[in-house]
Amino acid sequence: MALKLTDDQSMELAMQEALLGAGFVSPNPMVGCVILNSQGELLSKGHHGIYGGPHAEANAIQGLKPEQLKSARVFVTLEPCAHEGKTPSCAKALAKLPLAEVIYGLLDPNPLVSGAGIKILQSAGIKTTHFAKRQDDLEEVCEHFLMNFRAQKPFVSIKVASSLDGQLALKTGESQWITGEASREKAHELRAIHDITVVGKNTVLTDDPQLNIRHPRFPGKENKILILDSSAECLKRPDLRIFKTHRPENIFVAVASDISSPLAKTLRVGTQPKGQLNLKELLARLWQSSVRSVFVEGGAQVVSSFISQQEAHRLYLFQAPIILGANSGKAWSEGVNIENMSEKIQLKTPKVQQLDSDLLITGRLFN
């Protein structure tokens, strides 16, 4: 017996489909598509699987005959593309089919699309409907892409692993392991779905991490690394594991003066009055280097800098059911100064996920 779906269930399934493209489609958006036949039964589903490959709509209609699609209804998380790029226009492909309706979650902010896909469908006599519900969830699915086009800047996520009382390490520097294995695996997944991972020089010099991707969904995937090191101290240490793990073209070092090194690409960035690197300028340099999403995994100083300079868009807080104590611990927000309650930083659209004994709390920060 065929599965009948409501409109809400269909868009939920389309969002689930979209997320299957995480880590494989950047700089394109994650998009999911679900098709119901004229009786409201699930006919097919698809997602954008890899950059340069077929889009969600093309994957969903693949193998279906026109008679199966007669009076069918298509649910897609993002407006079907109107332009011809690495792949044909999805809107034009759908316009050739005997569809009754296309229900879309969000308008595409890309000026090459932005309503043009809808017009193509309407000109073909296909009804188009904006799915007005679940807008926060739909935006979250492709928030990197939306930020890129709306603000012409990379999307910045911050990851913190802390105790219940907000400590990410002991004052001695010991921090392994606060959270459990499930949290660490999730963190590797997040590392894989962002274009570049950011850490500070202290993390590199003290912990000597590899900062590569170790997750079963992404075997062999290479990632880019950015080290915030205004004085270029880490470039004096070619023995560090990070330089042995990653190719030089995948390592960036943000510095405050002109310097070059065979170990990595250097980005000269201005500084703030207190000596911190100017993160707005840094993100602009990364944008010029085709970096579209940033995953900040640094210590307290790095995390606090991104928050204090309001250059963070999402927080991923992994919280372990332990207490380290403020006297013996190091708070991840130690560099953030709030003088009045009216200045408090509010997490928008927060969500909580259980990861074995840990909690993952996530939500939007600054727009």
Whether 171 has a pLDDT exceeding 80, the answer reads no
Query: Cα separation of 194 and 189, whole Å?
Result: 9
Which residues have CB under 8 Å from 99's CB, separation 6+?
69, 71, 72, 73, 74, 126
Report the relative pairing of strands 155-162 and 314-319 from DSSP bridges: parallel
Task: Give residue 175's pLDDT.
Answer: 65
With 0-12 / 13-18 / 19 or more C-beta atoms within 10 angstroms meaning exposed / middle / buried, residue 41 is middle
Whether 254 has a pLDDT exceeding 80, the answer reads yes
Task: Give residue 213's pLDDT.
Answer: 93
Whether 328 has a pLDDT exceeding 80, the answer reads yes
**CATH homologous superfamily for the domain 154-364:** Dihydrofolate Reductase, subunit A (3.40.430.10)
- Active-site annotation holder among 12, 17, 57, 143: 57
187, 214 contact by CB (below 8 A): no
Does the domain formed by 7-145 have CATH 3.40.140.10? yes
Three-state DSSP state, 317: strand
Q: Where in the chain is the domain with CATH 3.40.430.10?
A: 154-364
Q: What is the pTM of this model?
A: 0.92
pLDDT in tens, 120-151: 999 999 999 999 999 999 999 999 999 999 99
Task: Give residue 115's pLDDT.
Answer: 85
Three-state DSSP state, 288: helix
Residue whose structure tokens are 């005959």: 65
pLDDT higher at 160 or 271: 160
Side chain identity, residue 46: G
Query: Cα separation of 103 and 136, whole Å?
Result: 17
Among residues 305, 345, 362, the alpha carbon closest in space to that of 137 is found at 362
Q: Where in the chain is the domain with CATH 3.40.140.10?
A: 7-145
Region 61-84: what's the mean pLDDT? 91
Known catalytic residue: 57?
Answer: yes
Report the relative pairing of strands 167-170 and 329-331 from DSSP bridges: antiparallel
Region 243-262: what's the mean pLDDT? 93
Structure tokens at 8: 């809400």
* Mean model confidence pLDDT for the chain: 92
pLDDT in tens, 173-189: 766 788 999 999 999 99
**Model confidence band, residue 4 (pLDDT cutoffs 50, 70, 90):** very high
Task: Give residue 1's pLDDT.
Answer: 62
Task: Give residue 70's pLDDT.
Answer: 95
Task: Give residue 174's pLDDT.
Answer: 66
pLDDT in tens, 86-97: 778 899 999 999
